[in-house]
Structure 1
Amino acid sequence: DSKGNAMYADISVVPNLTDARVAQCNTPGVGTIAWNSSRVAVLDGSDSGCDMQKAAGAVVKGVLPPSQMPIQIRKDFGSNMNDSYWLSNPNAPLEGYPSIIGNEQSARSLRTRNGLHQITTRLNGTDGDPGNKFTIDRVREFTTNNKNYGAEVLVPGMVSYCQSHPMIDSVDVSGACNVLANWDMTEKLDSPGAYLGRELLGNLLSVSGGPFATPFSLSDPVNTPSGLDTSNPEVPSALADAVTYMNSKSIPLDASWRDYQYVTKNGEQIPIPGGFGGQGMFNVISAVRNSSTGVYDSVRHGSSFIITASLTGAKCPDVKTILTYSQAATNEKSPHYADQTKLFSNSGWVTDRFCPSQQKKSPGLKVANLNGGAKAVKKGW
């Protein structure tokens, strides 16, 4: 707001099910499985005592009132990386809410940790760049820097291991080891090793019991779990398997996304930067791999409409947006069928113009005078 407050709020229509009610009314078997895996309760319909109840302050029967939902207003920051409300701000964890809203005091996703790491190191002045404040351009870098946090956590340990173990499971991994050692651990279009990094991380994160050497610690939730447990035989095999797969598809070990991750519009391949949120990418691109070629030639979902705005008290806001799939995504004949997709490919933005003074400077400005109809009357705005 105008006083510099940032608000985080996880407010939506949520069933009025406190943890006590779930313990009382959730059915055994299916209900237990659904609750433990997805926090979905299957209530006992034969017990009238388990009917949905009206909570004080709730708008309608059967939903939680706002007083039981996570809201936080702070001067430093609030964040949301499509995770539980718990660690919106590590300086003040949100706790004590019904579990049906989200989990608490447990490991966060690598994507959440990516965002929190970038935020906290910037504000602490420990990210290697001058100052300790965010500019609007720095906020925009969250999308365009394409940092892979999972790689930052796990790849250094693999490099240390493979440099002294060039053969793993009878597979020569020396070339892959060199690629990983030189990878900048981003998923930009021209980042050599991005394909290998994704393949390796996918294998590592599938290891039984997890690949981490240091377990999650409640005292350091942003930075744990961490390290690579190379004593687990599945961990080194993850690299050997990645090399074997890429060799089987004749994909160079230093392949980048420019040639191996794209969408096709009107016969033109448009390379797409970004990667999987589960591997720690802030810029989520959920691409689908062609099983025959190994190429990620389709993007199902991920970063879609992105808006960045600076409201600093200036007369006009500084706003830039991008619609990754383009405005006319279903009209192949439109000039706007692929224009923003190409812009996104090149880490570009669309400048939004809210004020007349901004609009007059638009290079593509066209003015049409419309006659007829009711006369516009300015009333209180």
Structure 2
Amino acid sequence: MDSARVVSKTISDFRNHCFEEGDKFWYAAIVPQSTLSGLDDTEEYEYVELSAPEVDEDGTLAQIIAFSDDHDVAEFSTDEGRPWACIRTRLQREIGLDPDDGDDDENMEVVIRECETETLEGLNVHRVSAWEQEDRDITTQGLAGYISAGDMDDTDALKRGDVCELINPETGSRIQLPIETYDHKNRKDNTIRINGITRKLLRVDSKDEGEDNEVRLRILTEVDEEEGTVERASKWLGRRFVDYSYSNFRVLPGYDRDEGRNVVRMNEDAMKGLGIEENDRVLLSWLRDEKRRRNVRCQSGWEEDKDLEPEATPESSYGEEESLSVRIPSTERDNLNISVGDSIQIRRDMRYQAGKQVSLSAFGILGVVVGTGQLINMVFEQITFAYVVSSVSIVLVLSVFTVWLVMNPIRQKCRTPE
């Protein structure tokens, strides 16, 4: 495997002409084209390992992309000719560098190594047909990519339902989806079926819509931390009492004023689809990276912000128009290890919704408890063990039932319209 050495710098060390539009916001290693070309088995937007020179173990996995054609390697390199690479500060720290000591080029050297990742290359994109959509409730079931059983069987590391990363090889945009097989007379190997919204998010076409109709599928082999018993119980109760709907959104740069404020912005229609209101809290996450899930407040964008407006989607999607974009400031993107152009999953925070609704209905719930106590006092003439057990049981049951009723309007907000 080939490798290359660069000196890590941040965005402020380069000029705007060094980047293609949006490139400087990538959570990746941006290198001169000559450096990328020196890695014989690595193409743009593929993954490499980044590490400090003295580190022998596996490095940090990141995408690699090239500067724009206007970038001058000679201008942005050390006196010894070592090229500079643009790497975000948080990624520098993950590699093991100290950005606070960045004046010393020797201390900011990074080794870029080629690496092998489990991928399916050049999958031709086909649209998802009605037979795959007819029984799916997109508010409570994840969207999926469908490949042939042959492609699934040929890949030992991939099983049905595994979450994988789909990458547009032309733009580097990513989305994570469960991968399923399908049984249909038109099934073909080396193809993947995804719905219109997913194609729109990735900026790819189906075979009958255009020429940009290939994606790369990366199998995520990183070890997941399994949910604990408390987390599973909390999610089970949350779905029964509060519920949620979710969707995938393409990441846009956030407003400067939102940096460090724990705020994201989306279209009001998109918020309605998630069953939330202005200033409600939502969860942002990669499906296979729950430990980096972010809990943030959601607000609408400025009126003149046309990039958050709904986009027309192909007829094979679930609607004619969808609000597909969300503005996320760099402080939140860095915590999630995502880049502008990626598509992440967003859903409402069930705990926040429960607390919000219960607090509004506190007096009604208190009335049930007091009324139940009065009823039990009428049945029992004196305090006995049976009195205590009955009191606690009845109050508990009626309180749970009351809370379930109180939460009904919240649950209905994320139901699929008839």
Could you say whether these structures have the same fold, taking a TM-score greater than 0.5 normalized by the shorter chain as the test? no
Shorter-normalised TM-score: what interval?
under 0.3
TM-score by length of 2: 0.21
Higher share of residues assigned strand: 2
Larger RCO, structures 1/2 (Cα 8 Å, 6+ apart): 2
